[in-house]
């Protein structure tokens, strides 16, 4: 099986998920999910708890068998990768350690099975900041230290693709800043980084692109900029809301939409405060308030995942 890591080829470093479906008993954990992740950027894989993020990542990594669909990395299914650790590094949980084994010994085991030199264990332990604690048993590690060790294990083979499931869980603020910088540098070297999280404020400062999942289904796949675009709105108060709505409706072809929030209050999307003021002025309509409302990622996310029943986009 040929693994293409040539950056001139389309599939190098790309993750492709195509129609993945997984049921556990009666529960559909992942439902016909498709998305792609491109190299050179950090993609946030977002969704509330139980959305199917971990199951998707585990299917991508050959740990869970999909009922339908296919997932590939660099054009190849994970189980067919010849030396997986050098192509894909994955940190799926901060709990996959034998408590009586030292952090260093844990990594050295995987150096052996991945045919990597043993010194890689010490190198990555220094990179993730566990150099001092490496001879201690993992049972005595804090959650943050285990997260760092899991990341270290993922980095052993210096992989082109990094897949991290909730990596910021348990990290202190310093650790989060450190990880953000680390992943940014990693992506800037042209590599692929896919990071899942349910803590969205963290992601807002980290990711370039987002794939949002809810109840096993894709809700949105966009760049971070594209996600907040079109979702920011303007609150406007006017004694003539009906007239204003009619005036705005004439601009509906530009994507302008008005929604009545109160007797004299409208929420308008698809235009800026200036654009809205201009429309009102041209129509001779009096305004009492004009407030741009920037929606943050958190709000977008809540909107997207909260309204799924009515809008399965």
Q: Give contact residues for other proteins (rule: CB under 8 A).
A: 54-55, 58, 61-65, 78-81, 84-85, 90, 92-93, 95-102, 105-106, 108-110, 112-115, 153
The alpha carbon of 305 is separated from its chain's Cα centroid by a whole number of angstroms, namely 14
> Given the complex with other proteins, which of 58 and 120 has the nearer CB atom?
58
Q: Which residues contact 207 (CB under 8 A, 6 or more apart)?
A: 42, 43, 44, 195, 224
Minimum separation from the CB atom of position 231 to other proteins (A): 34
> Given the complex with other proteins, which of 41 and 72 has the nearer CB atom?
72
> Given the complex with other proteins, which of 88 and 195 has the nearer CB atom?
88
3-state class (DSSP) for residue 144: helix
Minimum separation from the CB atom of position 77 to other proteins (A): 9
> Given the complex with other proteins, which of 58 and 257 has the nearer CB atom?
58
Q: Round to the nearest angstrom and report the end-to-end CA distance of the chain.
A: 36
Q: Are 142 and 122 in contact (CB under 8 A)?
A: no
Q: Please state, in angstroms and rounded to a whole number, the distance separating the CA atoms of residues 34 and 26.
A: 21
The alpha carbon of 127 is separated from its chain's Cα centroid by a whole number of angstroms, namely 23
CA distances to 157, 214, 307 from 303, rounded to whole Å, are 39, 11, 6
Q: Please state, in angstroms and rounded to a whole number, the distance separating the CA atoms of residues 282 and 102.
A: 72
Minimum separation from the CB atom of position 183 to other proteins (A): 19
> Given the complex with other proteins, which of 55 and 256 has the nearer CB atom?
55
> Given the complex with other proteins, which of 116 and 276 has the nearer CB atom?
116
Minimum separation from the CB atom of position 226 to other proteins (A): 32
The alpha carbon of 141 is separated from its chain's Cα centroid by a whole number of angstroms, namely 27
> Given the complex with other proteins, which of 105 and 208 has the nearer CB atom?
105
Minimum separation from the CB atom of position 106 to other proteins (A): 8
Q: Where are the beta strands (DSSP E) in 158-245?
A: 161-165, 192-197, 209-214, 217-223, 233-237
How big is the chain, counted in residues?
Answer: 313
State how beta strands 88-91 and 161-165 pair: parallel
């Amino acid at each position: 099986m040929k693994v293409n890591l040539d950056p001139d080829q389309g599939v190098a470093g790309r993750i492709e998920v195509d129609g993945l479906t997984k049921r556990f008993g009666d529960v559909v954990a992942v439902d016909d999910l498709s998305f792609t992740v491109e190299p050179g950027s950090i993609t946030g894989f977002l969704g509330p708890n139980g959305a199917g993020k971990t199951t998707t990542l585990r299917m991508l990594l050959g740990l869970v068998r999909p009922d339908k669909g296919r997932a590939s990395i660099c054009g190849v299914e994970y189980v067919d990768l010849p030396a997986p650790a050098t192509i894909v590094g994955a940190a799926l949980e901060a709990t996959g350690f034998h408590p009586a084994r030292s952090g260093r010994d844990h990594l050295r085991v995987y150096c052996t099975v991945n045919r990597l030199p043993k010194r890689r264990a010490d190198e990555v332990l220094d990179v993730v900041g566990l150099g001092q604690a490496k001879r201690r048993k993992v049972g005595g590690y804090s959650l943050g230290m285990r997260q760092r060790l899991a990341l270290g294990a993922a980095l052993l083979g210096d992989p082109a693709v990094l897949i991290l499931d909730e990596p910021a869980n348990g990290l202190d603020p310093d650790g989060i800043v450190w990880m953000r910088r680390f992943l940014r540098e990693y992506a800037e070297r042209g590599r692929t980084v896919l990071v899942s999280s349910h803590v969205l404020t963290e992601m807002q400062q980290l990711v370039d692109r987002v794939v949002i999942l809810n109840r096993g289904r894709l809700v949105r796949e966009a760049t971070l900029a594209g996600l907040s675009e079109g979702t920011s709105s303007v609150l406007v108060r006017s004694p003539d809301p009906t007239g204003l709505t009619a005036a705005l409706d004439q601009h509906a072809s530009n994507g302008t939409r008005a929604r009545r929030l109160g007797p004299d209050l409208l929420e308008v999307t698809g235009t800026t405060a200036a654009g809205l003021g201009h429309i009102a002025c041209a129509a001779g309509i009096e305004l009492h308030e004009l407030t741009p409302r920037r929606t943050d990622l958190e709000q977008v996310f809540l909107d997207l995942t909260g309204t799924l029943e009515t809008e399965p986009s």
